[in-house]
Structures are given as structure tokens and as C-alpha cells.
Amino acid sequence: MKGIQNLRVDYSGKKINIHTINNNPINEFKIWFKSAQENNILEPNAMTLSTFSDTSGINSRTVLLKGVEEKGFIFYTNYNSRKGVDINNNNNVSLVFLWKEIEKQIIVKGKASKISKKESKKYFESRPRKSKIAAWASKQSSEIKDEKELNSRFLEYEKKFLDDKIPLPDFWGGYIIVPDSIEFWIGRKSRMHDRIIYLKNNDDWVIKKLYP
């Protein structure tokens, strides 16, 4: 078996034509996302979300993108989780999408804010019943003192909402990340990768090419 230091893939990706790409990075993102879907990438909407807080530093984790709007990128979570606390203190975040199989990476930097209750409710209602119960049962990111605790909380909420519609918890909902910059990366031969970055300038986007 090869040692880690000898693992090496020579990428073959195409060049990104800076003259023909979209003026708007969200539209460019949608084209790249579609190509990830067409190439059957497993969970192309999985993204690494990094947050920062003065007390615990940088925290990264994977979350699922659940919407792309003209304004930005939406995901759902527990507002009391570590990421929720981080965002409450500092709403600057980054997202990284890595689609290795098609040799692409997208990095978004921007500001996160809560979406409306109405929008969160609409999404929450579309989730399977057990996922709704799990949202109620999980005190996401808090310590579990007794192993049985989570299971018994799940059963407790299952019982509580037995024949009822499960309401949206106050502590659960979506965030939208409004981008300040979006970088598109494509792997090319001999590490001569292509990188194009869109930087927000008032209402416009400035597009630059970066060294790999």
C-alpha cells in the first residue's frame, strides 16, 4: 500500500474561461452544482461550514445546503448549537464544497443570518416525521451525560407529539449566507489549476484570476 506522502492524482480539468463565465457567481454556482448532480456526486450539497468565536476559535463541520437563492446559500440547524452560538457572536463564515470526482472546489465567504420563521417552518414541515422528532430531542452540541439520555428524549417527544402535527422548535431553523466572495477552482494537469474569484464591490462583482 502506498504511503500517504505518495498519494498523488494528476487532475485533468478544463480551463475556466474568465471571458465567458457568468457575471453573477450565484448563477455560475448553479451551473457547477448541476454538473455535480449530473455526475452523480454523492451529496453534492454537503459543504464544510467554518465559524469563529472568540472563546473557542475556528470550528468547522459539514452541513447540507438546502437552498440557493439570488441572495445566498441556505442551511438548517439547531440555533443553540456550537455553530449557532458562534454565528450569534460573529456572523462571518466560510463554506467549502469539494467535488473530488469532477475535480472541483468552491469556496464561499460571507455573512450568515437567520431566515424568517415562515421559511424555516415551510422546510421543517417537509422533513420526515422522525427527523422532526430528532430536532426536538437533540440538544445539539451539548454534552450527553448518560448514554440513554438521547434515546429517552427521542421517545419522550415521540409520545408528546403522538397524533399531532410536530411544530417547528423555537431553537431550530435556517441560516442564509450572503456571499462577499466566491472562488471556483478546477484541478488541472501538473498542478496548474484554475482559480477564479468573484469579489463583491457594492452591488457589482469583480472577477479575478488567482495563481494556483
Residues with active-site annotation: 191
75 in contact with ligand FMN (CB under 6 A):
yes
Are 141 and 78 in contact by the 8 Å Cβ rule? The answer is yes
- Contact pick of 141, 158, 161, 180 for ligand FMN (by CB under 6 A): 141
**Is residue 35 at the binding interface for ligand FMN, with CB under 6 A as the rule?**
no
Measured between alpha carbons, how far is 11 from 188 in angstroms, rounded to an integer? Answer: 5
Contacts to ligand FMN from residues 153-182, by CB under 6 A = none
The reply to whether 195 sits near ligand FMN by the rule CB under 6 A is no
| 59 binds ligand FMN per the rule CB under 6 A | yes
Going 176 to 177 to 179 to 183, the CA torsion angle's sign is: negative
Among 11, 22, 24, 46, binds ligand FMN (CB under 6 A): 46
Residue span binding ligand FMN (CB under 6 A) among the ranges 12-20, 58-66, 119-127, 154-162: 58-66
> Which stretches of the chain are DSSP H helices?
25-38, 82-89, 117-125, 129-137, 148-160
The SS3 of residue 100 is helix
Cβ of residue 89: shortest distance to ligand FMN, in angstroms? Answer: 13
Q: Is 98 in the site for ligand FMN (CB under 6 A)?
A: no
Q: Is 81 in the site for ligand FMN (CB under 6 A)?
A: yes
Judged by CB under 6 A, does residue 138 bind ligand FMN? Answer: no
According to DSSP, the residues that pair with 57 across neighbouring strands are 53
Report yes or no: 194 and 185 within 8 Å, Cβ to Cβ.
yes
Our CB check for ligand FMN shows the closer of 35 and 141 to be 141
* Least Cβ distance, residue 128 to ligand FMN (angstroms): 14
Contact status, residue 126 vs residue 109, Cβ threshold 8 Å = no
d(CA 61, CA 63): 7
Based on the shown chain and the rule CB under 6 A, indicate whether residue 121 belongs to the binding site for ligand FMN: no
The smaller minimum CB distance to ligand FMN, of residues 173 and 188, is found at: 173
3-class DSSP state of 188: coil
Residue 94 interacts with ligand FMN (CB under 6 A)?
A: no
Among residues 16, 36, 77, 157, the one that binds ligand FMN under rule CB under 6 A:
77
Among left, alpha and beta (phi > 0; psi -120 to 50; other), residue 103 is: left
Give the C-alpha separation, 144 to 123, whole Å: 28
Binding site for ligand FMN (CB under 6 A): 43, 46, 59, 61-64, 75-78, 81-83, 140-141
